[in-house]
Amino acid sequence: MLIQIILSRANFLIVLLIIYPFFYSFGSEIKKNTLSVKANQALEWFQNEKKLVALGNVKIKLDSRNISANKVTVFYEGEINQSNILKIIAEGKAFFNELDMEVSSNKIDYDFISEKIILSEGDIKVIFPNIEIKSDNKLDFYKKDNFFDLFGSSSIVFDKNNYLQASNIRIFLDSSNQIKTFNTSKNSFFKSLDKGLDISGEKMLYDKSLSILEVKNNVIINQGNNKLNGDYAKVDIAKGISTMLSKNSGFISGEFVNLN
């Protein structure tokens, strides 16, 4: 046992001697295109495989990006001190932020070549100053085109008063990271707090520039004690105008209740 402890400590010292120049190079002064890595358990540098694995309360800084997790694996090309990062995988209470975006999940897979970020395995959350996005299954973020694909039970809150929940959602953001359009494919529910609108249906398509929400299949619109039913609706969120049409069933109904 004593021999094993001595060997273990010797190996640990060897690792420190190998890694120390690495820490000094990346941790002393953070410049553009440099990588800073801190961990409290282990840091393995696989030079032939061009891979770095950090364990235990890992903190990584790469330019304006910050990543933390229980385990982080960094894949690169060329020389590590040139920070030619190909991919970063963060696992276990993973967190990532860049400029005005914050991301949390149990696993974050960030591909720097395709600029695609995949969130999975746990409570998934993406926060911008005026948007909160959640999913309980998987989220794909395509940075180049600035859109999200959400899988499983997902929701977004935007413009403070608007709430959307659906099984699958695609969200496009504008250049200011505000909602541009969204579309859903299943079990959709939309709520506008300031307009007092509750809208449910199978599919939804929203265009913020027109302020129009289109809803298809088994549509129900509630506003106060008033209710509309049909299979297709166009709702002008800004003006508070709901138009119910019949495209399939030939059936439209409305109930308007006066409580006075």
Predicted local confidence at residue 32, as pLDDT: 53
In the predicted structure, residue 260 carries a pLDDT above the cut 60: no
**Region 156-183: what's the mean pLDDT?**
93
Whole-angstrom CA distances from 119 to 95, 139, 222, 252 are: 10, 5, 34, 41
30 CB-side CA count, 13 A:
11
Cβ atoms 206, 182 nearer than 8 A: yes
pLDDT one-digit tens code per residue, 1-60: 433 333 343 333 333 333 433 433 333 344 455 788 999 999 999 999 999 999 999 999
Share of the chain above pLDDT 90, in %: 57
Between these two residues, 181 and 80, which has the higher pLDDT value? 181
In the predicted structure, residue 194 carries a pLDDT above the cut 60: yes
Between these two residues, 258 and 9, which has the higher pLDDT value? 258
Predicted local confidence at residue 122, as pLDDT: 80
**Region 175-195: what's the mean pLDDT?**
92
Predicted local confidence at residue 63, as pLDDT: 83
Q: In angstroms, how far apart are the furthest CA atoms of the chain?
A: 88
Predicted local confidence at residue 182, as pLDDT: 96
Write the DSSP string, 154-186: EEEEETTTEEEEESSEEEEE-TTS-EEEEEE-S
DSSP state for residue 249 in the 8-state scheme:
S
Predicted local confidence at residue 92, as pLDDT: 95
Share of the chain above pLDDT 70, in %: 80
Cβ atoms 167, 185 nearer than 8 A: yes
Predicted local confidence at residue 144, as pLDDT: 92
Between these two residues, 256 and 162, which has the higher pLDDT value? 162
pLDDT one-digit tens code per residue, 108-118: 999 999 999 99
Among the listed residues 81, 53, 49, the one whose alpha carbon sits nearest the alpha carbon of residue 69: 53
Computed over every residue of the chain, the mean pLDDT equals: 83
CA atoms of 61 and 69, how far apart (whole Å): 12
Predicted local confidence at residue 6, as pLDDT: 34
pTM greater than 0.85:
no
